[in-house]
Chains A and B, each alone.
Chain A
């Protein structure tokens, strides 16, 4: 238990992986690890997209990160050269520790390999990231939108999505429905 959790009475929510784990990963993946940073005691690594499946498997099988806590997209339009980023949070139950992994993606058609084979939890997270950011996950078993509907045009959390854009109406009597009935 850390000192702060004793003071505030909050439940101990675990610690973050230490620099030694990052060191071990660096030895294993070398250049694949692009950067490492630490803020407020939270370890974060930035990796090349090519090593993601191998790194994820290594974290799960060798370092005890059994859980994929979170997966989300980020759009750095106009701020970074590589526009998109996918952020993974991993959690090790036995050691009660976390690690954040960032994967920058460039281009207008960003794509990553799916992690559905390693964690079932990746399924809906990846569909959500596809739905809202248009980030594709190659090999996903069911790559549909998660929150929005099929007739939706575009990906609304992208920073270049027009704020006043209007979407087609769906449902009985709408043009979309009539179009579909002709098909």
Chain B
């Protein structure tokens, strides 16, 4: 029998307990994002602006950047990734524990941005999976907030391994 989105929403598609647990876990995880800022270029300025008190990412529970991949669950890739940097990014991603999400912050990480040349990776999704793309060169902090809210929605609505 086909389920309607409403039935999914109400948890009728699967046993009541698992879906409710998913919701609780999603609720907990979306408000306790520990991000790893992989900052390589000018977008870092906008990341700092978004993280500091004026825009204050802490309002969304993402206020504490961790500089160890082992302690973080969202990899924020901020800035130009060159071919020579790509193995480092891949290694950082591999070192992060599940569950983990990746945010491509700025045009460079999405498609190489203004750098269509021999040195720059044309989008980080060539080497690691990306959950949210935040466009802009650099993205305004408000777009970063929007991306963060979209990431939270994604975390809330996905299935969680326990």
B contact set with A: CB distance below 8 Å? 83-84, 86-88, 90-91, 94, 116-119, 121-122, 126-127
Contact = CB atoms under 8 A, between A and B. Distances in A.
A6 B91 CA distance: 56
Categorize the interface residue count of chain A: 10 to 19
B120 to A, nearest CB: 10
A172 B91 contact: yes
A167 B118 CA distance: 7
Contacts of A171: 86-88, 90-91, 127
B116 A172 contact: no
Nearest to A170: B87
B90 A167 contact: no
Contacts of B86: 169-171
A167 B119 CA distance: 8
B140 to A, nearest CB: 30
Contact of B84 (A149, A161, A173, A174): A149
B126 to A, nearest CB: 7
Given A149-B84, A167-B83, A173 B90 contact: yes
Instruction: Please report whether the interface of chain B is mostly helix, strand, loop or mixed according to DSSP.
Output: loop
Nearest to B94: A172
A156 interface: yes
Contacts of A80: none
Q: Closest 8 A-B residue pairs measured CB to CB? A: A171-B87, A156-B118, A171-B90, A171-B86, A172-B90, A167-B83, A170-B87, A149-B84
Instruction: Please report whether the interface of chain A is mostly helix, strand, loop or mixed according to DSSP.
Output: loop
Interface hub of B90, B91, B118, B122 (most chain A Cβ within 10 A): B118
B122 A169 contact: no
A163 interface: yes
Interface hub of B86, B87, B88, B117 (most chain A Cβ within 10 A): B87
A3 interface: no
Contacts of A172: 87, 90-91, 94
Contact of B122 (A149, A166, A170): A166
Contact of B118 (A165, A170, A173, A174): A165
Contacts of A174: 87, 127
A163 B87 contact: no
Contact of B116 (A148, A161, A164, A167): A164
Nearest to B86: A171
A170 to B, nearest CB: 6
Interface hub of A163, A164, A165, A171 (most chain B Cβ within 10 A): A171
A60 to B, nearest CB: 35
Contacts of B88: 171
Contacts of A161: 118
A6 B158 CA distance: 71
Interface string A139-171: 000000000110010001000010111110111
